[in-house]
Structure 1
Amino acid sequence: MSTANSVLAVNNDLPIRTDKAVHSGKVRSVYWLTEADSARLIQQKNYDVAADTPLAIMVISDRISAFDCIWHGENNLHGVPGKGAALNAISNHWFQLFKDHNLADSHILDIPHPFVWIVQKAKPVMIEAICRQYITGSMWRAYQNGERNFCGNLLPEGLSKDQALPELIITPSTKGILTGIDGVPEVDDVNISRSDIENNFAAFNFRSADDIDSYERLLKEGYHVISKALSNIDQIFVDTKFEFGYVTDKNGDEKLIYMDEVGTPDSSRIWDEACYQQGKIIENSKEGFRQLLLNHFPDPDILLNKDRMDERCALARDNALPTDVLMNVSATYMGIAEKITGEKIVLSDNPKQEIIEILKRDYQLVD
């Protein structure tokens, strides 16, 4: 079977029983189960959720996004081999480590297949929770241009590119477009400060002002648990993004949980420590792909300037990247996944058919 055929590029056409539209994001597709199927699975599988909690099947793909666009390669290669399996394996590993350290739960209830999560519906906190231990990327570009206040964090003079910051800092941004918040522009992914959140905590879906402390604590705890584990395999956890939400357990207690993926090459920067000590940056994350795109096209401003989105979308649509570019990304993702989990990533020739068979046989979700 060809490499292109083994890539799961389209993941929103599975015959999973649902009575709602399938939501297809940049990487994952979400199938909301019927009320009857959700209630049945909660009872059969004894999930720790309220009996009327809506459940969904979340299917990852091998698509790769960067600069808010989906990219493809030559020879009909519409994804990165092994990327989906690697991302899920890494997230699953960290969520288990969070459990071992008695951190908060996640939205994941079950893992039927390496590409699939069964998740509970959560009320999302409308914040991209980002923390940074090093100055690099967009922060470094802004620092170079004279900016010193980052989401209320004042950075000292004299920092160098890729240098460790004096302390871990939180630089949140909006998740989605929020309206009616004084001083916060009505656009997606705009930087905000802690005072913005404190003054408008309900608009960000926090239950109480006290939960702002809880989200910051969970963010820092999650970062430190992953950072320590990565340091044990000679990797540096540079920065990362977490998402949070509220769910209700079977006792009726509401709690704040981790949502989406954590500590993956898509949501984080991870550097090779030995190379860093020698003054070189080796990216074990999607940042390497972003840098390649910036170097590959003659006008990188198209990728960095949000006012040029139409040109950027055309660039991604009309340019098939060399096959070896996507295969190098594959090697990065699978390599760091195997290093983190200590297990080999085994790829399927036909992941879509495997998913269908498992969901039909073990969960009765395919007619």
Structure 2
Amino acid sequence: MSNAIKETLFQFPNQVGFYKGKVRDVYIFDQELVVVASDRISAFDVVLPRPIPYKGQVLNQIAAKFLKATSDIVPNWVTTIPDPNVTIGRRCEPFKVEMVIRGYMAGHAAREYAAGKRILCGVELPENMRENDRFPEPIITPTTKAGEGHDEDISKEEILAQGIVSPADYSVLEQYTRALFQRGQEMAEEMGLILVDTKYEFGKFGDQILLIDEIHTPDSSRYFYAEGYEENQQKGLPQKQLSKEFVRQWLIANGFQGKDGQNVPEMTDNLVESISDRYIELYEKITGEKFLKANTEEIEARIEAAISTYLSQKN
């Protein structure tokens, strides 16, 4: 089995901080962030015990493709990508909300709907919807951005009332979110896919709002195959998905949903390898490009060297 990055612990000249996210290691500089996409995998806001080979490369390269493809809609934080697992960009002050947008009754929304809820994040949901039905128009269901633990649903009204985002900035975030989702759906359609739901994160660099983090990856988004969608809905059958929902379903089937007292089931070599294969499949289906595996023999040394070269050329 190929090597995988569980974590990195580099030290670079002029580095002023370090942040370890669920799946990313972030090296902080005065005006820049160096973000290493590790091979960690999370579900239900819990980092699972084993990393997945090539997962970080998959996410980093999908995000790079879609950030470039949407830069005419909203400027983004990226300045360079010196390694398949690394993105370097401007250090923004992030908004403390994630802009979740949903085109279909799926995932968390479907679970809440099945539990009887008809208002999600302040948005009234239509009656008589079935799981995976399309909404009349996409809905924005924000969450708080938790430093640790679970992100929480929140409404636009609560965000504004609590002063988390100003009314003027929130209006821009909504406009960007809808425009990005429309572009993402158009690009997915070209690949025979449906972009079901996704999330976007934004930050400020000076007075400018930038798109940050990743977009339209299988970690941040849910895709259905377009072929067979209507037939499956008519027959009440599950949709064929391209997302990490298969990981969540494996956890649920083995008694884990991130709740207190629950333990993560054992991740066997075969399971880890199958998840890796699925991520590579996701990459190729979403981008329409062949996935070229980076050399993982000395993966940490490779990454450290790429970052060090970039930093030395800057100074």
- TM above 0.5, yes or no, is yes
- Number of the residue aligned with 2:235: none
| Post-superposition CA distance 1:62-100 (Å, at most 9, x none) | 11111122223xxxxx3111111110111111111112x
Matching of residue 151 in structure 1 with residue 128 in structure 2:
no
The answer as to 2:60 corresponding to 1:88 is yes
Match of 1:225 among 159, 183, 189: 183
Shift in CA distance, 191/328, structure 1 to aligned 2, threshold 3 Å: same
Deviation at 1:224, TM superposition (A): 0.8
Which residue matches 1:71? 48
Alignment of 1:292-331 (within 5 A): 292-295=250-253, 297=254, 299-300=255-256, 303=257, 305=259, 308=260, 311-312=261-262, 315-316=263-264, 319-331=265-277
Q: What's the Cα RMSD here?
A: 2.1
1:307-341 Cα distance to aligned partner (Å, 9 max, x none):
x1xx24xx23xx43122222222222211212333
SS of residue in 2 equivalent to 1:22: strand
Q: For 2:60, what is the secondary structure of its paired residue?
A: helix
Aligned counterparts of 1:329 and 1:281: Cα–Cα separation in 2: 19
Any unmatched runs of 5+ in structure 2? 233-237
- Measure the CA separation in 2 of the matches of 1:260 and 1:128: 11
The 5-angstrom pairing of residues 1-367 of structure 1 reads 2-3=1-2, 6-11=3-8, 13-33=9-29, 35=30, 54-72=31-49, 78-99=50-71, 102-176=72-146, 189-200=151-162, 203-204=163-164, 206=165, 208-248=166-206, 254-279=207-232, 280-295=238-253, 297=254, 299-300=255-256, 303=257, 305=259, 308=260, 311-312=261-262, 315-316=263-264, 319-347=265-293, 348-349=295-296, 350-364=298-312
CA contact (8 A) 1:140 1:161 kept: yes
Residue pair 1:82, 1:345 contacting (<8 A) in 2 also: no
Output one character per residue of 1:184-216: Cα deviation in whole Å (capped at 9) or x when no partner. Answer: xxx85222212222323xx31x3x422211100
The DSSP-based 3-state class of the residue aligned with 2:306 is helix
Q: 1:7 Cα shift?
A: 1.0
The change in CA–CA distance for 1:71 and 1:197 in structure 2 (over 3 A counts) is closer
TM-score normalised to structure 2 length: 0.90
> 1:140-194, CA deviations, whole angstroms, 9 ceiling, x for partnerless residues?
12212221111221112111111111110001111137xxxxxxxxx85222212
Deviations 1:246-283 (A, max 9, x none): 113xxxxx211111111111111111121423414222
- Percent identity over the alignment is 29
Deviation at 1:365, TM superposition (A): 8.1
So what's the TM-score if we normalise by structure 1?
Answer: 0.78
- How many residues align? The count is 306
The one-letter code of the counterpart of 2:282 is I
Q: 1:26 to 1:129 in 2, by over 3 A?
A: same
Q: Which amino acid aligns with 2:64?
A: N
Deviations 1:114-155 (A, max 9, x none): 111112111111111101111122221221222111122111
Name the larger-Rg structure: 1
How big is the shift at 1:17?
Answer: 2.7
1:18 shift after superposition:
4.5
Q: Residues 171 and 64 from structure 1, CA distance in 2 versus in 1: closer, same or farther, beyond 3 angstroms?
A: same
Q: Do the aligned partners of 2:15 and 2:27 also contact (CA within 8 Å) in 1?
A: no
Asked if 1 retains the 8 angstrom alpha-carbon contact of 2:37 and 2:56, the reply is: yes
- 8 A contact 1:284–1:333 mirrored in 2: no
* Structure 1 unpaired stretches of 5+: 36-53, 73-77, 178-186, 249-253
Whether the 8 Å contact between 1:18 and 1:31 is mirrored in structure 2 is no
Report SS of the residue matched to 1:239: strand
